[in-house]
Amino acid sequence: MLARTHSAVLHGIEARVLDVEVDVGGGLPTFTIVGLPDASIREARERVRGALKNGGFPLPAGAVTVNLAPAEWRKAGATVDLAVAAALCEIAGVAPREARRRVFLGELGLSGQVRPIRGALALALAAKEAGFEQVFLPEQNLAEAACVDGLDLVAVASLGEAIAHLTGQPIARRCAPIVADGETPAALEDFADVRGQAVARRALEIAAAGGHHALLVGPPGAGKTMLARRLPTILPPLSRAEAIEITKIHSAAGRLPAGSGLVRARPFRAPHHGISAAGLVGGGPHPAPGEISLAHRGVLFLDELPEFRRDVLEAIRQPLEERRIALVRVGGASVFPCDFLLVAAMNPCPCGRAGSAGGLCACGDANRRRYTGKISGPLLDRIDLCISVPAVTWNDLARGAPGESSAAIRARVELARQRAAAHAPAGGTAAGNARLTAAELEAAAPLDGAGRRLAETAVSRLGLSVRGLHRALRVARTIADLEECDRVAAGHLSEAISYRLRTVPDHKGRIDTPASGP
Ligand SMILES: Nc1ncnc2c1ncn2[C@@H]1O[C@H](COP(=O)(O)OP(=O)(O)O)[C@@H](O)[C@H]1O
Ligand SMILES: [Mg+2]
Ligand SMILES: [Zn+2]
């Protein structure tokens, strides 16, 4: 007796639909699964047996063979359990023969309950793209899969419910409609909470408008973490396509809370400095997305930057440039997107007091240098904005006037991004000015006379490298966009250069201006 159902398995953050063929032949009661299953799929036989028995369904007598096709690719995860059980129920005659194109997704527990799965959104999308109309899935994953239009979703809590639905007692769980495009979710944090810190606020607005990576340098308690946490609240709202992309990543990583639908807020990830390279960029035998991919389309915050291991920081250099990471394994490569805004924070020296008013630092030159020298030079090279965050003054704290709200800042950021899109080539919209190539920059950021003279001085007298000048020009372009200017003026460039004055030495131990550094 042969029955055929369908399921799907996750591969990285994408999914593929499978044929699940189940044959029950004569002979000893065995249970074999073929078609390159990994251990988690092979164990389906125990789960399916238990679920059938405890759910009150007969296991057909004889030798059971399950074939997962196509055979050539490796399959992992427990999403096929429900499809195997459904096929056995067809063979046993307790469920009707498959009449329509449907996909079964779900892990079974021994008592017959259907457990939530990872990657439900990607799995449902794969079913839709393969032309299926109906998807059975765990009830906890309904909200997530409901992001896919035009599928008939049957959300079940148990094998019993799935069979009941197949035999004409419909299960009708529905979820609330998903949020419309371009909406910004209410955030707990807001820039209105930040008193004073005019320079840092301004610099983060520029970071958001142009997609510029930033480093916050200041003593403990200055508000670096507070400022960084609020950066996602001034980025433009997510498009639906971006929200789907983020949800797929977080779902595949098992990071979506049960019952949640589309991710609406830009991610903010703040991994601890003890994290491994695999934790940061992704890894494992069936590669799981790392923090850089969980931060996709949002902010990656590296607090206490000098405390991160050097090899760990080196590991993000390439993905930072390519905005995707390929993790190669025996089963093939998984590619995860990782387009994030990097914000790092650090103290100016081990004691944290260097450069502050009063100058109470007693670390000594050598210690200060060793501390800041721990940061990878090539990483610093990719940071356009170096922001000094002094301790907040009592006056600012006590005056009590709330700062400008995130919504007001975000409105300017969105306008600046629209302007940037107009002078950037295709793809420039989402990317921001930070990604302009040297040639694009030349066309997009023409300098006026005074600007040209300033650029010349910066190169010849301040020793700014040509690369450094290009970085400053990208920032200047963003500042001009924020101020609704077509041309880049000397004022824009000088502000941009001020964010380059290193408060820490570069990888060669150079400090641009001794006065501003430790
Ligand atoms: N500018 C500020 N406005 C209001 N509160 C602030 C400000 N700066 C710091 N604080 C308060 O101090 C706390 C510590 O700031 P935090 O961001 O953790 O500092 P850092 O990360 O620089 O060590 C914050 O949670 C906040 O309550
Ligand atoms: Mg902090
Ligand atoms: Zn010190």
Output the domain CATH number for residue 41: 3.30.230.10
Is residue 425 located within the same domain as residue 337? yes
Give residues with Cβ within 8 angstroms of 382, minimum separation 6: 213, 317, 320, 321, 342
Question: How far, in Å, from the CA of 298 to the mean position of ligand 2?
Answer: 19
Is residue 283 located within the same domain as residue 137? no
Q: Which two tokens mark 234?
A: 């001034």
Is residue 456 located within the same domain as residue 326? yes
Residue 100, domain extent:
2-174
Largest Cα span, the chain: 90
Residue 327 counted as domain residue: yes
Is residue 290 located within the same domain as residue 385? yes
Residue 438 counted as domain residue: yes
Question: How far, in Å, from the CA of 468 to the mean position of ligand 3?
Answer: 28
Question: From the CB of 223, is ligand 1 less than 6 Å away?
Answer: yes
Is residue 214 located within the same domain as residue 343? yes
pLDDT computed for residue 472 by the predictor: 93
Tens digit of each residue's pLDDT, the chain (518 residues): 899 999 999 988 999 999 999 999 988 999 999 998 888 888 999 999 999 999 999 999 999 999 999 988 888 888 999 999 999 999 999 998 876 789 999 999 999 999 999 999 999 999 999 999 999 999 999 999 998 988 999 999 999 999 999 999 988 777 765 555 555 666 789 999 999 899 999 999 999 999 999 999 988 889 999 999 999 999 999 998 999 999 999 999 999 887 788 888 899 999 999 999 999 999 887 788 999 999 999 999 999 999 999 899 999 999 999 999 998 877 678 899 999 999 999 988 888 877 665 667 778 778 877 887 777 777 888 899 999 898 887 777 777 678 899 999 999 999 999 988 887 665 544 568 998 888 888 888 888 889 899 999 988 887 788 888 899 999 999 999 999 998 899 999 999 999 986 655 443 434 443 333 32
pLDDT computed for residue 512 by the predictor: 44
Is residue 129 located within the same domain as residue 272? no
Residue 89 counted as domain residue: yes
The C-alpha atoms of residue 44 and residue 476 are separated, in whole angstroms, by 59
User: Counting runs of H as helices and runs of E as strands, what totals does the chain give?
Assistant: 22, 18
Determine the residue type at 289.
P
The closest of 121, 244, 230 to 181, measured between CA atoms, is 244
Question: How far, in Å, from the CA of 346 to the mean position of ligand 1?
Answer: 14
pLDDT computed for residue 428 by the predictor: 47
CB atoms within 10 A of CB 499: 25
The closest of 241, 240, 249, 287 to 267, measured between CA atoms, is 249
Residue 279 counted as domain residue: yes
Start-to-end CA span in the chain (Å): 79
Is residue 465 located within the same domain as residue 391? yes
The closest of 3, 133, 105, 113 to 54, measured between CA atoms, is 113
Query: Taking the model in full, what pTM does it have?
Result: 0.90
Give the mutation target among 226, 229, 230 for probing the ligand 1 site: most ligand atoms within 8 A of CB: 226
Residue 182 counted as domain residue: no
Question: From the CB of 195, is ligand 1 less than 6 Å away?
Answer: yes
Give residues with Cβ within 8 angstroms of 514, minimum separation 6: none
Q: What radius of gyration, in Å, describes the C-alpha atoms of the chain?
A: 28
Q: Which two tokens mark 265?
A: 């807020």
Question: From the CB of 229, is ligand 1 less than 6 Å away?
Answer: no
Which backbone phi and psi does 363 adopt, to 5 degrees?
Answer: -70, -30
pLDDT computed for residue 506 by the predictor: 41
The closest of 200, 517, 475 to 345, measured between CA atoms, is 200
Helical (H) or strand (E) element with 21: strand 14-25
The closest of 207, 236, 211 to 386, measured between CA atoms, is 207
Question: From the CB of 219, is ligand 1 less than 6 Å away?
Answer: no
The C-alpha atoms of residue 206 and residue 481 are separated, in whole angstroms, by 10
The answer to whether 231 and 204 have CB atoms below 8 angstroms apart is yes
Q: Whose CA is nearest to atom 11 of ligand 1?
A: 223
Is residue 262 located within the same domain as residue 207? yes
The C-alpha atoms of residue 242 and residue 247 are separated, in whole angstroms, by 9
Q: Whose CA is nearest to atom 6 of ligand 1?
A: 223
